């Protein structure tokens, strides 16, 4: 099955930047949807940004529009999330997710995503 491994999390001050990476391996040809989700303690997991990989169409949560950018490098089977102008409320565990052709994952909902990474922590201090 598809395996996802995130990296790039860390601690940063408000206003700073981080770039998350998600390396996909095994059966990557079957992936049509990829995304980034986050979950803060006590909160439900929420969608941050997703991409329909065949066309590169992207979707963003209102809270991150204009600050975060999702992108893909097909040659490296890697998904990125460039996060700029970080705020303390961006603090969370960030997860990479993927779904296959024919599946119908939520555009910015964690429902329907088949594969998940282990997560990478992002902490933004004020």
Instruction: Report pLDDT for 41.
Output: 93
The residue ranking higher by pLDDT, 26 or 37, is 37
The dihedral sign for the CA sequence 82, 109, 52, 28? positive
The residue ranking higher by pLDDT, 121 or 28, is 121
CA gap 36, 85 in Å, rounded: 17
Burial class (CB in 10 A: 0-12, 13-18, 19+), 50: buried
**pLDDT averaged over every residue in the chain:** 95
List the Cα angle 78/118/16 in 5-degree steps: 65
Q: Dump pLDDT digits (tens) for 57-114.
A: 999 999 999 999 999 998 999 999 999 999 999 999 999 999 999 898 999 999 999 9
């Amino acid at each position: 099955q598809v395996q996802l491994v995130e990296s790039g999390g860390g601690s940063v001050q408000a206003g700073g930047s981080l770039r998350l990476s998600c390396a996909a391996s095994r059966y990557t040809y079957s992936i049509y949807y990829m995304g980034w989700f986050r979950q803060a303690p006590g909160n439900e997991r929420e969608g941050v940004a997703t991409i329909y990989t065949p066309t590169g169409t992207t979707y963003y949560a209102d809270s991150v529009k204009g600050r975060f950018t999702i992108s893909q490098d097909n040659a490296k089977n890697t998904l990125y999330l460039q996060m700029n102008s970080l705020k303390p409320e961006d603090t969370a565990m960030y997860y990479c997710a993927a779904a296959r052709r024919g599946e119908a994952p939520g555009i910015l909902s964690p429902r329907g995503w088949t594969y998940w990474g282990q997560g990478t922590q992002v902490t933004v201090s004020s």
